Amino acid sequence: MPKKILVVDDSALMRRVLCDIIDTDIRFQVADRAKDGLEAFDLLSRNSYDAVVLDVNMPRMNGLQLLQELRKYKIPARVMMASTDTKEGARTTLDALELGALDFVHKPDSAVDCRGENFRREFLRTLNVVANSKLLVFAEEAKLTEEKGTVKEMMKIINHHPVSVSGSKVVAIASSTGGPKSLQSVIPLLPANLDAPVLVVQHMPVGFTASLAERLDNLSQLHVKEAAEGEELKKGWVYIAMGGKHLNVVTSPAGRHTLHLSEEPYREGVRPCANYMYESLQTSRFDSVVCAVMTGMGADGTEGIGKLKASKKSYVIAQDQNTSVVFGMPKSIIAAGLADQVVPLDQIAQEIILHVGVVK
């Protein structure tokens, strides 16, 4: 049976274009349409849908306001945002993800461009992920917030009683759908004196990763930034892979580790792809690598970590199914026998600290 989709957009032409795209795929069926958040809220109050395609800028009630109302009245919905790639648009998209949206696509300004094959393919791919993702009800979300508070207290204890792990280490994290919000339950809980640099590959398009890094930096004790070509890795810093470029670690003969951003082919259908990051760490001078594979579709990270484990001491943490929005990437790691530990989202930061240590 086709998945039922609600399309919300104030432009009659854009609604028609998006609905035409959806109805060409036998997996989906447009069940309802709304021209603003108020109409959508009324429909969502009375009906259930497998996914909602939501515009941001609309009269009467915009996309963010609708998400706030859904949260207020505890109305669950799987929401995919249609966003612009401007800096302001990127920040709005991150706001939407924090409010409960699961993923987003960059919607071209022109309806003509929306009819292009590239947009159609990406739109349907993302819609399929969202429509088949876990519906996180608000009671579960509240439980995760409560558990996160407990972990913060645990971090204080660890900071007062520093964990020491010998050798040089690096942390390498991979995430996709559900990742931007989930990273806020990991990165801000890592202490400023973490004894390793942190690399993050989050599947995002060009124009969004700088805003993600800025937001995480404001929340974190560590310094968080979008990765830049040629910069040297430093302890206490988190480097977010730039949207549209793969993140590689280059090791000099003297043992310096620097970042290289490449435009090698898409892999696993994405760029950045975590496999490149993990494979580049095979020849690094780090004594050990702590990997964390979090929520996301597909199998990105499995091939790279498999090669990494065969050549370097590595400890792999996989997020569990109950706290993953999409249990694709962690499931693939577990199925391949590469996971050393499977933990809920609220315990990932703790495990990273225990296996990396802090600078005394």
Q: Could you tell me if 269 and 300 are in contact, meaning their C-beta atoms sit under 8 angstroms apart?
A: no
Work out the angle between the directed axes of helices 348-356 and 138-160 (0-180°, nearest 10): 20
Q: Which residues pair with 200 in a beta bridge?
A: 173, 240
Residue 223 designated active-site: no
Residues contacting 145, CB < 8 A, separation 6+: none
Residue 176 designated active-site: yes
C-beta atoms surrounding 149 within 10 Å: 9
Which structure tokens are listed for 167? 């050798």
Check 83, 95, 203, 324 and give the catalytic one: 203
Residues contacting 11, CB < 8 A, separation 6+: 55, 111
Considering only CA atoms, which of 103, 38, 15 is closest in space to residue 7?
Answer: 15
Residue 300 designated active-site: yes
Residues contacting 254, CB < 8 A, separation 6+: none
Give CA separation, 202 vs 169, 271, 297, in Å: 21, 9, 12
Q: Which residues pair with 1 in a beta bridge?
A: none
Check 176, 185, 211, 220 and give the catalytic one: 176
Check 36, 103, 300, 346 and give the catalytic one: 300
Residues designated catalytic: 176, 203, 300
